[in-house]
């Protein structure tokens, strides 16, 4: 069933997809380490801190809402598409 309102605006879709794909790209790796391939380490570390996510977290423990918020944080003042 579709949500009555999207969690993210359409222009954030590509970032969200890239984030989720990279996060799950190597199942047993820590998500922070994987994401550093696409985003600056400092920005990621700040985002994880804001979301109370462990630096050791793997993608499977991250909720949909945390992925959405992570997308919003990483898109803020970012050129990443």
Q: With contact defined as beta carbons under 8 Å apart, do 47 and 59 qualify?
A: no
pLDDT of residue 42: 95
pLDDT in tens, 5-14: 889 999 999 9
pLDDT the model gives residue 4 = 85
Compute the distance between CA of residue 56 and CA of residue 53 in angstroms, rounded to an integer.
Answer: 8
Residue whose tokens read 């109370």: 52
Domains of the chain: 10-75 (1.10.8.100)
What was the pLDDT predicted at 81? 44
Model pTM score: 0.88
């Amino acid at each position: 069933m579709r949500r009555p309102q999207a969690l993210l605006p359409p222009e954030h879709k590509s970032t969200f997809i890239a984030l989720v794909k990279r996060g799950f790209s190597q199942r047993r790796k820590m998500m922070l380490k994987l994401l550093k391939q696409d985003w600056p380490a400092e920005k990621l570390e700040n985002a994880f801190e804001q979301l109370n996510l462990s630096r050791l977290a793997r993608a499977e423990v991250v909720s949909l809402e945390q992925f959405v918020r992570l997308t919003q944080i990483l898109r803020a003042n970012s050129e990443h598409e």
